[in-house]
Amino acid sequence: MNLNWRLIIKNGLLGGIIAFYLSAIGMAETFSQRYLISTFLSTGQLFVAVGGVTAGILTARALKEDYKKSTAYIGSLLAGVFSSLPLILLIFLIQVLVIQQTGQEVIFRWRDMFVNFSPGLVAMLTFGQGLGLGIPLLILASALLAGLGATFILFPDRLRLAWLNGLIWMLGIGIFSENVTQILGQFGGRGLARFLFQQRTLNPIAAILIFAGAFAIAYFRVHKTVQNRWTGMPARQQKRGRTIGLVLGILLLISLPWMVGQFLSQALFMVGLYVMMGLGLNIVVGYAGLLDLGYVAFFAVGAYTMGILTSTGPLGQSDLSFWAVLPIAVLVGLAWGVFLGFPVLRMRGDYLAIVTLGFGEIIRILATSDWLAPFEGGPQGILHIPNPNFFGITMHQPQTMYYLVVAGSLLIAFVTIRLRESRLGRQWMAMREDEDVAEAMGINLVQTKLLAFSIGAAFSAMAGAIFAARLGNIFPHSFNLLISINALALIIVGGLGSIPGVIVGSLILVGLPELLREFTEYRLLMYGLLLIVMMLFRPEGFLPEETQKRELHADEEELAPLET
């Protein structure tokens, strides 16, 4: 048997380095007590396992073409063995640097530097068995994990998908146990929740049942059968089916907040808010091609307009209702879009990006300063902004506010679609492709750019106004760069210029972090890694617009023959 050792060692070490990294920054130990399935598997262990599994997947994929299956399995197991080496190194580092220093007087305590190099981590990595037995166990476990990773690649297709499906559902329900419990609770399924989970962790029988169910659904290709029957139906029935589907979809959209409970409704509200902003920014970046990194400025403008005009506190300037101020906020946002758009009319590309970023920061800093504090409260912000009142119902729950953002998103989506198909939309896209040519074709660049800027700004201001009315208090720190970045990232992750993409992007980049609140300080780390991984594997986004996709794939076709 002539194995490609270089490749095996390389992939094995790569996986090991991932495991080393996740352990060294504390993700392993911090979550070592957060169990997913009974007490067999914790989230911390899952993080460490990522290394071994990755090693197995990479090796199996590389060996699949040129070798027999059995050889590929053996290669993957060997890669798993190598993937344990960085972890063993970590164990020894902790042993030598940290554990030997404990209780001694030293000038430099390594634990002060590497705060997560703890004895607990060693205990976790050696399965609490001490070094002598623990290290062989770790090697064995790494090899097995790599073998598991290899099965994701090497199993026959049908089995492979079912196997993956089962594992993903089982782990997913384990990770989101709290949310699942909440949803079940809304349906009176407390009993079921109690059967599934013992103190947030899946009970083993439930885990096996979930796995088996998901496995069976994928293995017997239930969705394929449904699809086949659907295509087999006569056209009239299909039409009726579509209407029923639409009605069900609308009903689902309406009843969603009552099905998922308070906490998840708040998450949905945030998702909806970002959909509104994303749709607005999509016009600026996706259609007009103007890279705006200071989008939060308009969000803040909308929120402060709402705050100043409706607050019942000392800073309130009038006692207008939410509904009267909402259009005012939109108009103020529009005006600010023109105002901030004007100076940057002559700038392009990265210069535009950095100047708009500057605007965003300027507005935030001004809002925090003492200078403007008499008008908008400085760092203390504006308090006592009343919740909107809808025909006598005060919308103080996230469930009711959810309808507001859904209505807002639908309105903005409608306007966006109409604009895209209009003359103006075509002018934007022409400008995006080439400014000089667009101008030569008789497009008034000043007007077109300002319209893109100000319409985008107006939508963001609308979102900001709703945000202020939901929270009741606004503070300048809420309007930081992260909001601009989030809005930009979500439209790119979803697919630049695509409206369904905005929704998908917002669910992934806003909804998911809301659900993963328990990961606290590691949430933004995961967000960052997710952005990188997303862009590496799907640079065109999840649901790209057709032209965008074609452009990227045309590139690949051109390059592909050269590289192979």
Which residues make up the interface to another protein (CB under 8 A)? 21, 24-27, 107-108, 112-116, 285, 291, 342-351, 353-355, 357-359, 361-362, 365-366, 368-371, 446, 485, 488-489, 492-493, 496, 521-522, 524-525, 527-532, 535-536, 539, 551-552, 555, 559
Shortest Å distance, C-beta 536 to another protein = 5
The SS3 assignment for 346 reads: coil
Shortest Å distance, C-beta 504 to another protein = 15
Which 8-state DSSP code applies to residue 38? T
Q: Which residues pair with residue 35 across a beta bridge? A: 42
- CB contact burial 68-88 (16+ within 10 A = b; e otherwise): eeeebbbbbbbbbbbbbbbbb
Which 8-state DSSP code applies to residue 472? S
Shortest Å distance, C-beta 167 to another protein = 26
Shortest Å distance, C-beta 286 to another protein = 10
Shortest Å distance, C-beta 506 to another protein = 15
Shortest Å distance, C-beta 21 to another protein = 8
Residue with tokens 């001694």: 104
Query: Between 3 and 535, whose beta carbon lies closer to another protein?
Result: 535
End-to-end CA distance of the chain: 27
The SS3 assignment for 24 reads: helix
Cα–Cα separations (whole angstroms), residue 153 to 62, 69, 141, 303: 10, 10, 19, 50
Residue 433 CA to residue 429 CA, distance in Å, equals 6
385 Cβ neighbours under 8 A, 6+ residues apart: 306, 307, 310, 311, 312, 468, 469, 471, 472, 473, 474
Query: Between 440 and 536, whose beta carbon lies closer to another protein?
Result: 536
Shortest Å distance, C-beta 534 to another protein = 8
Residue 499 CA to residue 222 CA, distance in Å, equals 30
The answer to whether 545 touches 551, Cβ cutoff 8 Å, is no
Residue 262 CA to residue 118 CA, distance in Å, equals 38
Residue 329 CA to residue 307 CA, distance in Å, equals 10
Shortest Å distance, C-beta 541 to another protein = 9
Residue 508 CA to residue 390 CA, distance in Å, equals 31
Query: Between 110 and 155, whose beta carbon lies closer to another protein?
Result: 110
Query: Between 217 and 512, whose beta carbon lies closer to another protein?
Result: 512
The SS3 assignment for 411 reads: helix
